């Protein structure tokens, strides 16, 4: 059964066309209320119990583990950002001179800078798989290029399961098989997919999955999640947080310094991960996402966008074939000659919020959108595209 729109849960004004959740999600009302509860708890600190630092965090980890199909929630760490999670991964990898780290062209910087630094440290090579120039079977060609680039020198493959600017789907099953055959690590950035697109750690078996929490997971800005596989079970965290040690729940004995960390990925959580306000908001968000389900969200986004995509295609825009991209996020590649600055100004004047990423307009939608939200976007683009046609014909 197809989900109905959930506009009633959000406070987005009717005159706003918000197609930019990939940049920043709005909060729905339950998240807002959870944040207020956290603020109230902070204003009454004498009501805060010892277990309030720990039990909500465990609940949060369990919810995220359920979302990505991880059996043991102790493999989940909470942190402030993707860069923190990727830096944690890089901090625990040792390379040999000549090893290769494979990334995808135009990845988000948080999943690039740590690899540049790691490559320099070990005299390794950072290898980038470019976007195919031809639009014909682009996604298929791109996936083939990635698979062909993985070889005996490959030590790490770091990528998203979709491309963050245009929604191209990558064949992670095949990529995982190839990395295993070459004893290479697979590190996934799920920031633009987890929560809106089904993802199973059990199925893909990445060595790590890092995910921003403020986009498709509806958390506050400054939260993220990470799954770490057994490669990282005995690694070194970026910081020595007291709460990540065994028996830290016993405040009276904290100066009996504990040499052992809590199990598995717990050692990697950021300090003060028990943030009363953030954690309450994140828990409310994940509960709602699990109720909706990523599959249903994906199907809903497809249902409200397909007519607009057909119209944009006829207007001369290129959008990847629906079988090779996501529906919650996709890129509109614009024809040459379009005045991008004029288009951006026009969209903003009409309260249409999208992202410009390279040569793409990135469209990202959710359950607070309906098919009517695409109408002003198509109308605005149509005006600017016709100007190109008129210019070409003169």
pLDDT at site 392: 58
User: Is 80 exceeded by the pLDDT of residue 321?
Assistant: yes
Sequence-ordered list of residues with C-beta below 8 angstroms from that of 308, at least 6 positions apart, any chain: 371, 374, 375, 377, 378
pLDDT tens by residue, 346-371:
999 999 999 998 778 999 999 999 99
User: Is 60 exceeded by the pLDDT of residue 325?
Assistant: yes
Mean pLDDT, range 129-150, rounded to an integer: 93
Mean pLDDT, range 327-335, rounded to an integer: 92
pLDDT at site 339: 83
Which tokens is 106 given? 């135009």
Q: What is the rounded distance in angstroms from the CA atom of residue 375 to the CA atom of residue 380?
A: 9
Q: What is the rounded distance in angstroms from the CA atom of residue 297 to the CA atom of residue 195?
A: 9
Q: What is the rounded distance in angstroms from the CA atom of residue 296 to the CA atom of residue 82?
A: 26
- Give the torsion sign (CA, 195, 197, 200, 205): negative
Measuring CA to CA, how many Å separate 294 from each of 51, 114, 139, 232, 333? Answer: 31, 30, 22, 28, 26
Measuring CA to CA, how many Å separate 70 from each of 76, 159, 206, 235? Answer: 9, 20, 11, 20
- Give the closest residue to 218 by CA, choosing from 39, 8, 3, 21: 21
pTM of the full predicted structure?
A: 0.95
Q: Which residues on neighbouring strands pair with residue 208, listed in sequence order?
A: 187, 228
What is the full DSSP assignment across 208-231? EEEEESSSTT-PPTT-EEEEE-GG
> Greater confidence, 384 or 336?
384
Measuring CA to CA, how many Å separate 156 from each of 81, 111, 148, 150, 212? Answer: 21, 12, 14, 9, 21
pLDDT at site 75: 98
Which tokens is 220 given? 């506050």
CA dihedral 362, 186, 114, 84 (to 10 degrees): 80
End-to-end CA distance of the chain: 51
pLDDT tens by residue, 188-210:
999 999 999 999 999 999 999 99
Q: Are 206 and 184 in contact (CB under 8 A)?
A: no
Sequence-ordered list of residues with C-beta below 8 angstroms from that of 5, at least 6 positions apart, any chain: 300, 304, 367, 368, 369, 370
User: Is 80 exceeded by the pLDDT of residue 387?
Assistant: no
Q: What is the rounded distance in angstroms from the CA atom of residue 235 to the CA atom of residue 330?
A: 37
Percent of the chain with pLDDT over 90: 89
| Phi, psi of 92, rounded to the nearest 5 degrees | -115, 20
Q: Are 175 and 154 in contact (CB under 8 A)?
A: no
User: Is 70 exceeded by the pLDDT of residue 133?
Assistant: yes
Go through the domains of the chain in sequence order and give each one's CATH number: 7-26+293-393 (3.90.1150.10), 31-291 (3.40.640.10)
pLDDT at site 391: 58
Sequence-ordered list of residues with C-beta below 8 angstroms from that of 13, at least 6 positions apart, any chain: none
Question: What pLDDT band is residue 389 in, cutting at 50, 70 and 90?
Answer: low
Would you mind telling me the total number of residues written for the chain in this entry? 394
Percent of the chain with pLDDT over 70: 98
């Amino acid at each position: 059964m197809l989900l109905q729109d959930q506009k009633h849960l959000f406070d987005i004004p009717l005159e706003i066309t918000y197609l930019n959740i990939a940049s920043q999600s709005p909060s729905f009302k339950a998240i807002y209320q959870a944040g207020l509860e956290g603020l109230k708890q902070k204003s009454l600190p004498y009501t805060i119990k010892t277990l309030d630092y720990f039990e909500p965090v465990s609940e949060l980890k369990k919810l995220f583990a359920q979302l990505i199909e991880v059996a043991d929630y102790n493999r989940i760490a909470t942190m402030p950002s993707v860069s923190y999670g990727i830096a944690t991964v890089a901090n625990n990898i040792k390379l040999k001179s000549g090893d290769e780290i494979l990334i995808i062209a135009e990845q988000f910087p948080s999943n690039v800078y740590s690899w540049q630094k790691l490559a320099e440290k070990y005299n390794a090579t950072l290898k980038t798989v470019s976007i195919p120039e031809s639009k014909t079977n682009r996604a298929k060609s791109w996936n083939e290029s990635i698979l062909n680039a993985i070889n005996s020198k490959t030590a790490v493959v770091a990528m998203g399961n979709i491309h963050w600017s245009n929604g191209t789907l990558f064949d992670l099953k095949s990529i995982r098989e190839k990395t295993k055959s070459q004893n290479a690590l697979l590190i996934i950035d799920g920031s633009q997919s987890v929560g809106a697109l089904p993802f199973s750690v059990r199925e893909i078996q990445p060595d790590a999955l890092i995910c921003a929490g403020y986009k498709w997971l509806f958390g506050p800005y400054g939260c993220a999640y990470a799954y770490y596989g057994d490669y990282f079970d005995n690694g070194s965290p970026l910081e020595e947080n007291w709460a990540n040690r065994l028996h830290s729940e016993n405040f009276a004995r904290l100066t009996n310094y504990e040499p052992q960390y809590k199990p598995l990925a717990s050692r990697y959580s950021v300090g003060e991960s028990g943030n009363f306000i953030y954690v309450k908001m994140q828990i409310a968000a994940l509960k709602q996402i699990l109720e909706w389900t990523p599959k249903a969200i994906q199907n809903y986004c497809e249902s409200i966008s397909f007519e607009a995509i057909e119209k944009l295609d006829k207007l001369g825009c290129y959008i990847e074939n629906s079988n090779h991209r996501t529906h919650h996020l996709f890129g509109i590649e614009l024809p040459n000659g379009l005045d991008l600055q004029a288009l951006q100004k026009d969209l903003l004047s009409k309260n249409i919020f999208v992202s410009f990423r390279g040569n793409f307009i990135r469209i990202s939608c959710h359950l607070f959108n309906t098919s009517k939200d695409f109408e002003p976007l198509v109308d605005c683009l149509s005006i600017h595209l016709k100007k190109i046609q008129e210019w070409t014909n003169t």
